[in-house]
Amino acid sequence: MAFSSSSISPCCSSKFSSNSYLPETYLKAKVKKIDAFNSNTHTFPLLQSINSKWERGELFQFRIRAAVTTEEYLLDGSTENNQLLKGDSWSVHKFGGTCVGNSERIRNVADVIIQDQSEGKLVVVSAMSKVTDMMYDLIHKAQSRDESYLTALDAVLEKHKLTAMDLLDGDELASFLSRIHHDINNLKAMLRAIYIAGHATESFTDFVAGHGELWSAQLLASVVRMSGVESKWMDTREVLVVNPMGSNQVDPDYLKSGERLEKWYSKNPSMTIIATGFIASTPQDIPTTLKRDGSDFSAAIMGALFKARQVTIWTDVDGVYSADPRKVSEAVILERLSYQEAWEMSYFGANVLHPRTIVPVMQYDIPIIIKNIFNLAAPGTRICRSTDNEFVDGQISESPVKGFATIDKLALVNVEGTGMTGVPGTASDIFGVVKSVGANVIMISQASSEHSICFAVPEKEVKAVADALESRFGQALSSGRLSQISVIPGCSILAAVGQRMASSSGVSATFFSALAKANINIRAIAQGCSEYNVTVVVKQEDCVRALRAVHSRFYLTRTAIAVGIVGPGLIGGTLLDQLKDQSAVLKEKFNIDLRVMGIIGKNSMLLSDSGIDLSKWKELQNQDGEMADLNKFVQHVSENYFIPNSVIVDCTADSHIASHYYDWLHRGIHVVTPNKKANSGPLDRYLKLRDLQRQSYTHYFYEATVGAGLPIISTLRGLLETGDKILRIEGIFSGTLSYIFNNFMGTKAFSQVVKEAKEAGYTEPDPRDDLSGTDVARKVIILARESGLNLELSDIPVQSLVPEPLRATASAEDFLLDLPKFDHELSKQRQEAEDEEEVLRYVGVVDVVNGKGAVELRRYNKDHPFAQLSGSDNIIAFTTERYCKQPLIVRGPGAGAEVTAGGIFSDILRLASYLGAPS
């Protein structure tokens, strides 16, 4: 037996074993004797003596339920034939302190238990929210000789009394109140002894701290019984046996715990058991706790002892997130984790489970479900053994990286020197020193050259580690065998975790490229051969940025694009409307996530960290807009870090904006634009821009520079890339001039048609910008350069339709008033063409064979495709070696905000499809 027969008192009967108190009379007698000393020189040895006898099991009547051993069950004569049938009929639930924080929540927990259809239910509960902290505070006050511990103890009593009175009535209420009053009286005596001694031993502390679980288990069991379901409550100190280990750890004794469980159940048969979490007993029947995350650990141990179907951990979140949602707003709930993945993530600081919680259930393949007590509809996260099925319906079922976790407040210690190379035992000596000061090594990295070893430890421990290493290796440092022992403070660890990382190529490359894009400097790297995780050390100040960058790369998909709109005028505003209408469809059906992160005009800009609400961007710009700053705008769009790709969409015709394209592309920012100024500007700048594009993975799309929404640039590129040779490109490139000459017929004067075109919105505010032919010349030079001709804009002869005397006219209004004076010449040309069954058309020509281009007014037979146009349509004819007899013709609307914005939108979608491929 655990105790000699002389030490067994009547209070060790079965009646006493159903309660959790210390005999009050004994404690009071001891306290009186302690008071008689009235001197610290005597009180502390006496308390040590009490504790020593407690630990040897020699205290007369100083017993708790956990001290009822197997032999005592036999002495009791209680050998009821109630065999515990273990297996899938049992489910285990664990409810944390938040779940049982008040009477309403305890009722909710009772409802969950009652609604569980399992045949057997074992429920593990923590103390009510904040109660464990209150119990430790009692001990702290008592050993500090702060008499307010009595007031604090009264507060603990009052909290539980009020909760009980709200939940219970009748015999259940009376029974609970009797128990808690008895417990409180015993605790007063215990705390009085601690107060006098000024010290609390670990076993006394554990005994006091565990009362919160006793009371919450009793409360919940009573509520369940009052709902009509028979239930028993279990003081797990009677069942769970653990061996205290170093470093604030305990190891469960499954064999002895299993034996005690069988004995307990034979005396307390029930298919609904409410058990205390956190607390257990040592092999000497001394109360102890399961230390950090003890309630989760209790549930896992119970799951293993019952061989349960599953263990459900109820908490206040919907499941395990892919990253800390407080740091990464885009974090998602993970549907499933393997034991190993959960283990790795929890080790690296993720709010999942303590690693030791997973160990008990692994051997029986018992899944752990993380669920939200406040959102029962959420499916939660299932932690179970991984399967080999990587494919579902022919597709990869899950990402190779499940989640990301961080640990802050670390320091790197680097030991290096040529004397380490090839010397056996150096690493052992280093880490032996670290162990001697009790420091925890979080990560180790060593180069294959053995020239250096670096490792991460908590920042609060690094000074002791560094001092100990310098003391141990002082001679090696002075002789030069070791060159230095250096410390890098202010570090954080970032870990990517996933079981399928080992079988998926390119994971590390993607991980590190995301960090590179975010401009994160990596201090150290570690990866085990199992490849369950890749770990890097970064500056603590960069940690959140790094976390967002890598998370977005794996979870926001490669086609998540941060968009910055320059110029929210007619075309830019129309593009924003199109993005608003289509973005949800693109995300849902095509996995393309377009986020407009910024909009900038001439005077103001609107920035967002997560994406602008395009349904009210104008209102937001008026409310939250700030002074326009192009550099700040570009930096915001491109350095958001949680979206892996960024694009600047220039919807202006501004040459100053176009001058920034090279810098943006060089910084890895994609560019989409209808602005012709860059590609028709100085030749050397254009060639430099195209060379950069071809040599990088950054894309530059400008389809809308020539034909608005028509596929002119892409058609030309397709012909060249497939080996065709361009001979001639000829076309009507201006929607404005197409409209004017399609309507310049009969008796209409040219000036009248121009006026109608302006009133219809086809021309620029000043029609001379269209009639001068400069816009067409820019399109011609763009096509010429795409065809391989190195021409400057000045090399293109342009026939202007603006009469010479009117080119310097002050205003557009004056120009339109004076234009009728010059109608005669164009009317004459129109009549001559009609006499020959021809029409006038304003065209641009690229003569690739002769290496030149032109913009001019030409006559075409009425059967020619150029004569068949209507409205503002554009038409382009490609004459090539393949299309020599019959030119390849592209025709369609070539002007208007809708089609131009549509062409830009098409380029953005083309960018999404090209991401990751060289230009």
Task: Cite the active site residues.
Answer: 779
Question: For residue 520, what is the DSSP state?
Answer: P
What the block records as the tokens of 125 is 């509960």
Is there a contact between 637 and 649 (Cβ–Cβ < 8 Å)? no
Sign of the CA dihedral 69, 75, 78, 80? positive
Is there a contact between 906 and 703 (Cβ–Cβ < 8 Å)? yes
What the block records as the tokens of 414 is 């680097």
CB atoms within 10 A of CB 558: 15
For residue 730, give the 3-state DSSP assignment: strand
Is there a contact between 243 and 203 (Cβ–Cβ < 8 Å)? no
Is there a contact between 316 and 165 (Cβ–Cβ < 8 Å)? no
Q: What is the chain's length?
A: 919
CB atoms within 10 A of CB 154: 12
Q: Which of 732, 734, 700 is nearest to 841 (CA)?
A: 732
Name 412's bridge partners: 456, 488
Helix axes 294-306, 254-267, angle to 10 degrees: 80
Q: Which of 340, 334, 350 is nearest to 555 (CA)?
A: 334
Residue 368 identity: I
Q: What angle do CA 704, 705, 711 make, to 5 degrees?
A: 45
CA dihedral 455, 457, 463, 469 (to 10 degrees): -40
Name 843's bridge partners: 856
**Strand ranges inside 389-529, DSSP E:** 391-392, 395-396, 403-416, 443-446, 452-458, 484-497, 522-527
What the block records as the tokens of 388 is 């080999």
DSSP string, 829-845: HHHHHHHTTEEEEEEEE
Distance of CA 239 to the CA centre of its chain: 41
Is there a contact between 726 and 719 (Cβ–Cβ < 8 Å)? yes
Q: Please list, in sequence order, all residues whose beta carbon lies within 8 angstroms of the beta carbon of residue 207, skipping any fewer than 6 positions away.
A: 64, 190, 287
Stretch (H or E) spanning 307:
none
Q: Which residue has the tokens 């210690």?
A: 413
CA–CA gap between residue 389 and residue 367 (Å, rounded): 17
Is there a contact between 78 and 14 (Cβ–Cβ < 8 Å)? yes
CA–CA gap between residue 889 and residue 730 (Å, rounded): 10
**Strand ranges inside 658-713, DSSP E:** 670-672, 700-701
Reported as half-sphere exposure (CB side, CA atoms, 13 A), residue 104 has a value of: 1
Q: Which of 427, 122, 473 is nearest to 274 (CA)?
A: 122
What the block records as the tokens of 915 is 């991401």
CA–CA gap between residue 810 and residue 321 (Å, rounded): 65
CB atoms within 10 A of CB 376: 13
